[in-house]
Amino acid sequence: MAELTYRDAVAAGIAQEMRRDPNVVFLGEDVAHAGGVFKATVGLLEEFGPLRVRDCPISEQAILGAAMGAAMTGLKPIAEIMFSDFLAVCWDIIANEMAKMRYMTNGQVTMPVVIRTANGAGSRFGAQHSQSLENWAMTVPGLKVVAPAYPADVKGLLAASVRDGNPVVFFEQKSLYSMKGEVPDGEHYEPLGKAKVLRSGGDCTIVALAAMVHKAMDAAEVLKREHGIDATVIDLRSLVPLDTQTILTEVARTGHLITVEENPRLCGWGAEISSIVTEECFWDLDGPIIRITTPHIPLPAADALEDATIPSVARIVETVRTRLD
């Protein structure tokens, strides 16, 4: 095991797949010589050279158009969109072209493209550079959606994404880039669609994604220590495919479901999970499902306002305590 930062795990995951398969290529804005604006791709150009690691113009449409064409000719491109907010610029290519190509060709053309992007708040970048957009991708048939919370999962889930024959939107929470964690040496692979139960308790089930996983874990410790509430915490890791079996099993066992979502509340991923749980195990619930979310507003840049907007440990603790006491 090596201790790596989240950003170093990105580079390790890309390098692992490029060493394994010569058809894997990497392209994006400032990803080669500069090592990425978040320094998550340092060293890749030096190891793999300019034919496989390519800097692109400031054009999201050009980056993904090139990636799609490369995938159609047998390559396996990893394409970086610097901020997830900029997916709006190239959304037609993702939602109308990449996501539908395999279906519309009856499987004759696969689309093994990984779209890596820095997502979420916590860095004070304001309304146009801080959004959590997993919900956008989740609504499009044909896309897979991944959002790791830990460095080891960055490497392992990136491997699974590269090896998948479908387009995968890989959301990296930018406030996590500096966090450290143990990452397995050598080849590491984590299958898509498998959630992890990080903490097991009998009083409620908290489901979270990406940065919210860490807040949910901290809140669970406070709830146990100060209020005697023992919570299960599930890290979803991917939204498509979604591990409904793990969610339903844990909710049926504890009787309570709380989702912690960085996304805006309206049409959030927690609403879909709430719907599934209501349909599949309604009679196992001992109370209403609770969704702790960001309000349906543009994100502010001011420190105090951003902190007040995004779910916090204190808000999770108070919400769960109030409902369960």
**What average pLDDT does this structure show over 295-322?**
95
- pLDDT, residue 43, reads 97
- pTM listed for this prediction: 0.97
The domain that contains 145 carries what CATH number? 3.40.50.970
Contact call for residues 151 and 107 (beta carbons, < 8 A): no
Instruction: Indicate whether 117 belongs to any domain.
Output: yes
Q: Are residues 163 and 263 in the same domain?
A: no
Q: Are residues 112 and 253 in the same domain?
A: no
Q: Are residues 178 and 250 in the same domain?
A: no
Cβ atoms within 10 Å, residue 185: 9
**What average pLDDT does this structure show over 169-180?**
97
Q: One-letter amino acid identity for 289? A: I
**325 — pLDDT class (breaks 50, 70, 90):** confident
Select from 118, 148, 183 the last residue of a domain: 183
33 is catalytic: no
Distance CA 36, CA 40 (A): 6
The yes-or-no verdict on residue 133 having pLDDT over 90 is yes
Residue in the block written with tokens 């479901």: 257
Contact call for residues 83 and 137 (beta carbons, < 8 A): no
Distance CA 123, CA 117 (A): 15
The domain that contains 270 carries what CATH number? 3.40.50.920
Assigned token pair, 34: 């500069």
Q: Are residues 129 and 25 in the same domain?
A: yes
Q: Are strands 204-208 and 76-83 parallel, antiparallel or unpaired?
A: unpaired
Q: Are residues 116 and 138 in the same domain?
A: yes
Given 129, 188, 214, 256, the catalytic residue: 129
Average pLDDT over the chain, rounded to an integer: 97
**What average pLDDT does this structure show over 204-211?**
98
Select from 183, 216, 244 the last residue of a domain: 183
Distance CA 43, CA 58 (A): 21
Q: Are residues 292 and 252 in the same domain?
A: yes
Instruction: Indicate whether 190 belongs to any domain.
Output: no
Q: Are residues 29 and 142 in the same domain?
A: yes
- pLDDT, residue 291, reads 98
Instruction: Indicate whether 152 belongs to any domain.
Output: yes
Q: Are residues 32 and 163 in the same domain?
A: yes
The structural domain count of the chain equals 2
Containing H/E element for 162? Answer: helix 151-163
Instruction: Indicate whether 252 belongs to any domain.
Output: yes
pLDDT in tens, 248-275: 999 999 999 999 999 999 999 999 999 9
Q: Are residues 166 and 220 in the same domain?
A: no
Select from 153, 183, 213 the last residue of a domain: 183
Nearest to 229 by CA among 260, 259, 256: 256
Instruction: Indicate whether 22 belongs to any domain.
Output: yes
Instruction: Indicate whether 188 belongs to any domain.
Output: no
| Domain region containing 173 | 2-183
Instruction: Indicate whether 189 belongs to any domain.
Output: no
**1 — pLDDT class (breaks 50, 70, 90):** confident
Distance CA 269, CA 251 (A): 16
Instruction: Indicate whether 275 belongs to any domain.
Output: yes
pLDDT in tens, 181-205: 999 999 999 999 999 999 999 999 9
Assigned token pair, 31: 């990803």
Nearest to 36 by CA among 53, 49, 20, 19: 53
Strand runs (DSSP E) across the chain, as ranges?
2-5, 24-28, 53-55, 76-83, 114-119, 144-146, 168-173, 180-183, 196-199, 204-208, 231-235, 238-240, 257-264, 290-294
Three-state SS at 23: coil
Three-state SS at 201: coil
